[in-house]
Amino acid sequence: MPAIDSFPPTRTEALNRLRSFVPHAGKDYAALRNHDLGPGRHRHVSTLSPYVRHRLITEDEVLQAVLGRHSRNSADKFIQEVFWRTYFKGWLEMRPGVWDSYRKATLRLMDDIATQSGLRHRWEAACKGETGIECFDAWARELVETGYLHNHARMWFASIWIFTLRLPWELGADFFLRHLLDGDPASNTLSWRWVGGLHTRGKTYLARPSNIAKYTDGRFSPAAGELASEAPPVDGPDNPARMAPPTGDRFDPTRPTVLLLHEDDLAPGWLFDLGLNPLGTARLDVSARLSPLEPAPHVAAFKSAAMDDVCARWSNKLGPVKALSDPAAMTGWARSLGAEQIVTSYAPIGPVAEALRAVDGMPVVQPLRPFDANAWPSATHGFFKFRERIPHLLGTLHGLRAA
């Protein structure tokens, strides 16, 4: 089934998935979430990530629904997974240089691919699922065809890419970003670095045949010696010094304003609650900026249809809607409507934030959601330290104060 049919890009679909998954978010999830049953059979996990990543549904909505049905204790594992996304985003916000280095390395490696036929052939074989390693090839094809991989498959895949095929991790991260419907600058870059031993310095993830056989329920059983038996950390500079977390901008709703919608936050309702009443709305398409190479058609199609969905749902609030892919064109368009400011939900590190730097001649005001503002400053070290803050963060959720 084409990727976009398996993951219809609407909020209604996100809510339906959430509703059917909630009963399983407790003990079932804790016991079964690591089992990868294969394409079209990912029933032990929520498959919500394409929706949460673009905020067709928000993290706090997911958490509130789960806590409406389960105790914090029984849904602990699922709650932690939701907070991994938040943790990675906060961690990267405080170390933006990690993203910049990844971008530069990817560009440099594209040159290497063009000039070094050995590297090119190995990279092409990996991306096409033609390495001869049965499980790896199946996951490469699943990713290209469906736009989704189970978390355990992502870990095994990244480990085999780095330690068995000895390909640069940045090329693997780029391959994921071009094909995943949930492709996310923070979760993707930092997960690849985590597997390679760069995130938690020196701690790598080795894909073991017995683990693969067990958690694919025997679908794959790599032969002895087929996979690397050691995972020495990849070379790389130390993690950069931590910067202060962003606090976001305040905006004045009485000034003439246009709204900018972007792929990192397709839930503008909270801005309307703050008094936003835009003269018009721009929808920014940055699909072409994800990678030096073109993303898979389903990635761009998902983002575009998700944007259609938001514009349809909020049509009475948005004013005239303009599609833009060149951020430099934004100021002229905003002025033509009489606006003095562009308001948009804070764009975290990634292609949208990069694009917004090119807007000139008009303030781009980026309020930060309370959920992110509360959580990101705690992403100072590893996830296990961050995890200690989860009870407090849950306590700050609207409606859960008394929980």
Ligand X SMILES: Cc1cc2nc3c(=O)[nH]c(=O)nc-3n(C[C@H](O)[C@H](O)[C@H](O)COP(=O)(O)OP(=O)(O)OC[C@H]3O[C@@H](n4cnc5c(N)ncnc54)[C@H](O)[C@@H]3O)c2cc1C
Residues that bind ligand X (CB under 6 A): 33, 45-49, 52-53, 81-82, 84-85, 88, 151, 154-155, 158, 176, 180, 182-184, 187-188, 191-192, 195
Closest CB to ligand X among residues 227, 318: 227
Cα dist. 145→26, 53, 177, 219, 291 in Å? 30, 19, 14, 19, 19
Smallest separation (angstroms) from ligand X to the CB of 224:
25
Closest CB to ligand X among residues 43, 317: 43
Smallest separation (angstroms) from ligand X to the CB of 51:
8
Closest CB to ligand X among residues 45, 353: 45
Smallest separation (angstroms) from ligand X to the CB of 193:
9
- Residue that the structure tokens 């709650």 belong to: 79
Smallest separation (angstroms) from ligand X to the CB of 328:
28
Task: Report d(CA 41, CA 150) in Å as an integer.
Answer: 10
Quote the crossing angle between the two packed helices 11-21 and 297-313, to the nearest 10°: 100
Q: Which two tokens stand for residue 395?
A: 């306590």
Smallest separation (angstroms) from ligand X to the CB of 46:
3
Q: What's phi and psi for 323, nearest 5 deg?
A: -85, 130
Give the count of alpha carbons within 13 A of 30, CB side only.
11
Answer whether 245's CB lies under 8 Å from 221's CB.
no
Three-state secondary-structure class, residue 156: helix
Closest CB to ligand X among residues 181, 318: 181
Alpha-carbon radius of gyration of the chain: 21
Closest CB to ligand X among residues 272, 383: 383
Smallest separation (angstroms) from ligand X to the CB of 291:
12
- Residue that the structure tokens 């398996």 belong to: 6
Closest CB to ligand X among residues 30, 125: 30
Smallest separation (angstroms) from ligand X to the CB of 113:
20
Three-state secondary-structure class, residue 365: strand
Smallest separation (angstroms) from ligand X to the CB of 265:
14
Task: Report d(CA 16, CA 19) in Å as an integer.
Answer: 5
Closest CB to ligand X among residues 131, 188: 188
Q: Which two tokens stand for residue 259?
A: 């709204």
Answer whether 361's CB lies under 8 Å from 331's CB.
yes
Three-state secondary-structure class, residue 185: helix
Closest CB to ligand X among residues 79, 343: 79
**Cα 304 from chain centroid?**
16
